[in-house]
Amino acid sequence: MRGRRSGGDLMNKLDAQRQKEIQQAEELLFAGPQALGFAKGLFQGHFVSDWVMPYPRIPAAQQTELDDTLTELRKFLDEHLDPAEIDRQADIPREVIDGLGRIGVLGMTAPKEYGGRGFSQMANCKVLEEIGRRCASTSVFVNAHHSIGIRALLLFGTHEQKQKWLPKLVTGEQLGAFALTEKEAGSDAANVQMQARLSEDGSHFILNGEKRYITNAAIAHELTVMARTPVPGSDKTAITAFVVTPDMPGFEILEARMPKMGIRGTATARFALRDVKVPKENILGPMGKGLKVALTVLDFGRTTFGACCTGAAKTCLELAIQHANTRKQFNKTLGEFELVKKKIARIAADAYAMEAMTTVTASFIDRGLEDYMLETAMLKVFTTERLWECINDVFQIYGGSAYFVDLPLERMLRDARINQIGEGANEVLTSFVALVGMRGPGMEFKEIYDTMMKPSRDRISKAWAAGKNRLGATIRVPDVLVQSEQLRGHARQLGRLIRHFNFAVNRALITYREPILDMQLVQERIANAAMDLFASTCVLSRQDSEIQFARRNGDAAAPDHAAADLFFRQSFRRIRGFLAGLTDNDDKAVIAAAKSCLTSGTTETTS
């Protein structure tokens, strides 16, 4: 009896916890009208063409400004940036920071009225690609300062707040940081424990708590800090974003530069706030909406992450080509061996796709489209995973020489490892992509199911509409229209794969129903297929635009698209594999083996 009651209590507790999680996610992600973006469209069997076609281009006037900036930046980086020395010294010299500030890199997207360059996110991505090509420490530093550090101020700051802080931040005279992570709030970002209590006279908040792993914290002059504030009229709390400056009494750096494996030039800190008085005027965005502020900021960070990874992948390709063409073994250059060719071809295909995906995603931000959280998450996971493969491949091509510190490869390997963890661990984002994507069709099925259980006139008409929609999407192959004749075959295949994907999502929802919320192995296949569909779409859009551009300019020869063609073949094959894995897999055995290890707590296995 007692056992049964406590089992029931546990179930109730789990239910309550699940309800709380769902409510939190609803509040965070689904407030406001829901436009059908590209990724959400995929999950419904649609190809939302106007988000991705034609391939976005930077307007001519800004392109000229960007080209000039890139020329200046390249010259500066050639002369002053020494990535190996930055890694050895675990520091980015002040002259590098000053130089980046002079060129405008540290305020690239900030409005001109505050001293910024007013660049679009697409143009900014080109700048970050250039830095990411050379030095990951420097690109992460710029990201921490500009993509996320001052982003909340740029997006949610009042005119007064911007006027007060931005002019010095955009020149690099002062630096910014973004402080979300704590011991208890890593992947579980909503679990922020830092407290902010209102002072008795109501003029300021008093902040207490600790943050860890914060890039730039010890060198920053302005930190966007997430802390928990009381919700008026209830005993609940919610997260709010504050501007904190290190001159505030009670701000204490606990460890300025935590020693670490890669991106060693960045300063990653732990800090504490002890009864720090922060004026109410320092709140960024609405009270209690700090999590939404943080996730919106991270949309920008994840986009420039894609740009930095693209730059690094291009470096991998350059290094691979160089070595494969010069190093000889068995009387042949390495490039003559098929297993080396395979690696080079894959790096080229992935680098092309990473650039296309970054450009398309950045254009969503520039066009002010609604809700691109899924696409930025996809970009982050896809580019960081592909880059890891690229580095591994070029490392292998260099053989033993890659292991030594006179070449950049061991540093690149160490530097790249953080990408799959920072700004949202890839597992968390993968699950997020699947769950948010499946929400649309899931709600339609729920409508149908609820009606079957409890029919009513109103419900029947809604369920009929939902049923028609689901069925229509499953039967119809969405139109994927391209201008170039030679791409029609790829476009048709992509359309068919979207229908196949939609069918697989529907089947998974019907088969597993609510437990799918916890089935991460299923979620991973669905998310991976969606990511490859998005990547292939971006490649198609880019290739179409390049072919048309060449035609307009009277180029007789079509541009060389061997890498893009390979990408389609590999991506389409992966998508088919992910979807096949939904019904043919080892999931039960995987779960059983893991459970056995986790419950026994031992490394010994019996035969």
Ligand X SMILES: Cc1cc2nc3c(=O)[nH]c(=O)nc-3n(C[C@H](O)[C@H](O)[C@H](O)COP(=O)(O)OP(=O)(O)OC[C@H]3O[C@@H](n4cnc5c(N)ncnc54)[C@H](O)[C@@H]3O)c2cc1C
CA dihedral 15, 17, 21, 26 (to 10 degrees): 50
**584: CB partners within 8 A, 6+ apart:** none
Residues binding ligand X: number (CB under 6 A): 21
The Cα angle at residue 286 between residues 283 and 291, in degrees rounded to 5: 90
* Phi and psi angles of residue 58, each rounded to the nearest 5 degrees, phi first: -75, 130
Query: What number of helices (H) and strands (E) belong to the chain?
Result: 20, 10
| List 24, 89, 187, 191, residue binding ligand X (CB under 6 A) | 187
Residues 304 and 362: their CA atoms lie apart, in Å, by: 8
Q: Does 138 contact ligand X by CB under 6 A?
A: no
Name the residue nearer to ligand X (CB basis): 41 or 290: 290
Name which of 245, 244, 246, 249 is nearest 275 in CA terms.
249
Tell me if 178 sits within 8 A of 191, measured CB to CB. Answer: no
| List 282, 304, 431, 543, residue binding ligand X (CB under 6 A) | 431
Residues 498 and 480: their CA atoms lie apart, in Å, by: 10
In angstroms, give the least distance from the CB of 152 to ligand X.
12
Q: Does 181 contact ligand X by CB under 6 A?
A: yes
Name the DSSP class of 191. Answer: G
| List 407, 425, 510, 519, residue binding ligand X (CB under 6 A) | 425
Residues 317 and 348: their CA atoms lie apart, in Å, by: 6
Q: Does 428 contact ligand X by CB under 6 A?
A: yes
Name the residue nearer to ligand X (CB basis): 423 or 532: 423
Name the residue nearer to ligand X (CB basis): 365 or 381: 381
* Strand ranges, E, within 107-236: 176-179, 195-198, 204-215, 222-230
Active site residue 423: yes
Tell me if 310 sits within 8 A of 355, measured CB to CB. Answer: yes
Q: Does 418 contact ligand X by CB under 6 A?
A: yes
In angstroms, give the least distance from the CB of 520 to ligand X.
6
In angstroms, give the least distance from the CB of 594 to ligand X.
12
Q: Does 178 contact ligand X by CB under 6 A?
A: yes
Q: Does 214 contact ligand X by CB under 6 A?
A: yes
**129: CB partners within 8 A, 6+ apart:** 307, 308, 310, 311, 314, 355, 358
Helix (H, G, I), strand (E, B) or coil at 535: helix
Window contacting ligand X (CB under 6 A); options: 23-31, 324-332, 422-430, 576-584: 422-430
Q: Does 473 contact ligand X by CB under 6 A?
A: no
Tell me if 397 sits within 8 A of 323, measured CB to CB. Answer: yes
Q: Does 118 contact ligand X by CB under 6 A?
A: no
In angstroms, give the least distance from the CB of 342 to ligand X.
29
In angstroms, give the least distance from the CB of 426 to ligand X.
7
Window contacting ligand X (CB under 6 A); options: 69-77, 150-158, 366-374, 415-423: 415-423
Window contacting ligand X (CB under 6 A); options: 210-218, 402-410, 523-531, 597-605: 210-218
Helix-helix angle 338-366:121-132, to 10 degrees: 150
Q: Does 306 contact ligand X by CB under 6 A?
A: no
Name the residue nearer to ligand X (CB basis): 77 or 218: 218
Q: Does 419 contact ligand X by CB under 6 A?
A: no
Q: Does 423 contact ligand X by CB under 6 A?
A: yes
Site string for ligand X, 252-271 (x = CB under 6 A): --------x--x----x---
Q: Does 215 contact ligand X by CB under 6 A?
A: yes
Q: Does 351 contact ligand X by CB under 6 A?
A: no
- Look at strands 176-179 and 222-230 and give their pairing: parallel
Name the residue nearer to ligand X (CB basis): 151 or 542: 151
Identify residues 144-173 at the interface with ligand X (CB under 6 A): 144
Name which of 274, 272, 273, 270 is nearest 255 in CA terms.
270
- Kindly name the residue from 182, 222, 375, 423 that is annotated as catalytic: 423
The pair of structure tokens assigned to 251 is 């701000």
Active-site positions read 423
Summarize as ranges the residues that interact with ligand X (CB under 6 A).
Answer: 144, 178-181, 186-187, 213-215, 260, 263, 268, 418, 421-423, 425, 427-428, 431
